[in-house]
Amino acid sequence: MTKFFPLVLCLFLFACDNNKKDEAATPAAAETAAAPVELADAKYIEIGKAGLNALSANEIPKWMESYADNALYRWNNGDSLAGKPAISEYWSKSRNESIDSISFANDIWLPVKVNTPVNEFQAPGVWLLGWYQVTAKYKTGRTMTQWIHTDIHFDANDKIDITIQYLDRVPINAAMMAK
């Protein structure tokens, strides 16, 4: 999450910077020019919430309906999955072999549309930023609770094509160890 904070700060600052206007721009041009970043449609929040509900209910095929075939799923430690089948297989295996139950609480969502990327790593388009508390009970009998941050990017068809998840592996690894 620490690595992501500068991006969130940049997004917030660019979205809120209404004082710097091009002095040569006409009022009509200023009204029609898109901000570098703006709030996106709340429908993306519903997609995020529905995904967490499906994952919690172990309905992986339902959750995967919102993913594009060429989706990428990345974690902050550098691990990644490429393609909808790989993501589905990973989460199906995790939910059926490692995780007894998983729940999400205290969720916060922010849908943003990046009109003008500030660097080559920032994809333009709609991003859904999500923060939530996760509690997972593992087949080992141990439980893990932590806050997780997830960035979700949508393609032109409103399908998820990039997911980046920021979490701490230490409590997960500890919970997966037999008592």
pLDDT digits (tens, 9 = 90+) for 81-95: 999 999 999 999 999
Average confidence (pLDDT) over 133-157: 97
Determine whether domain 5-16+25-176 maps to CATH 3.10.450.50. Answer: yes
Cβ partners under 8 Å of residue 134, min gap 6: 102, 103, 104, 144, 145, 146, 147, 148, 167
Domain layout of the chain by residue ranges: 5-16+25-176
Q: Which two tokens stand for residue 164?
A: 């980046």
pLDDT digits (tens, 9 = 90+) for 97-125: 999 999 999 999 999 999 999 888 889 99
Residue with tokens 């009509």: 28
* Residue 15 pLDDT greater than 70, yes or no: no
* Residue 143 pLDDT greater than 70, yes or no: yes
* Residue 140 pLDDT greater than 70, yes or no: yes
Give bridge partners of residue 89 from the DSSP assignment.
Answer: none
- Where does 53-93 show beta strands of DSSP type E? 67-75, 80-82
Residue with tokens 């509900």: 53
* Residue 157 pLDDT greater than 60, yes or no: yes
Pairing, β 160-166 against β 67-75: parallel
Mean model confidence pLDDT for the chain = 87
